[in-house]
Amino acid sequence: MNDRAKQRIIPDELEDCLRFIREHRDDIARGLYDLQIEKDWVRELPESDVLLIAEFCPSSRLAIASIAKSTGILEFLSEDASGDVREAVADNAKTPAGVLMALASDSISSVRMAVAENLKTPEQSLEKLALDQVNYVRWGVAHNESTPPAILKNLTKDPDKHVSDEAKNNPHTPKASWLARLLGKG
């Protein structure tokens, strides 16, 4: 069913939401309703309800992506048509490394930046993102305290001053010896 033909439902409270899901589960699964939930409710809903809403209620996907803990739900939402939803998945601290690796190749730079800043992003993805054409993606790698020292050292020489400064300020960037700094080689 076309998302525009769905009836949007916005419950006032969590209890209203739970009641609506209980009474209309099959109708939600048939695509008749687009249930819009509050971000805070995601933690309170059973995982099966969160998955149902993620699958059939587009207006709730962003809220779910930003706070979900379930690997299955995060994997599902990482392939969403909305770049905002994919970015929220990339920002989520619970997103597994494999999903972050896939999102590191996303066509939208804000998604790649979110991956670059995620502490769980694998080293090989950080290496790739450190070479991204978009400066703020490289800045995200420089900002990430999980970025390996060798990558950070390379980013200190980035042509973009914001990127190189951020890499220099990362506490895990190797510092040049006092002699190298004195000779202007650090």
- What residue segments make up the domains of the chain, in order of their start? 1-67
pLDDT tens figures, 61-86: 999 999 999 999 999 999 999 999 99
- What is the structure's pLDDT at 175? 82
Classify residue 44 as exposed, middle or buried by CB count within 10 Å of its CB (0-12, 13-18, 19+). middle
pTM of the model: 0.90
What Å distances lie between residue 105 and 73, 75, 113, 114, CA to CA? 20, 15, 11, 12
| Paired tokens of 42 | 């995601």
Strands (E), the chain: 7-9, 33-35
Q: How confident is the model at residue 5 (pLDDT cuts 50, 70, 90)?
A: confident
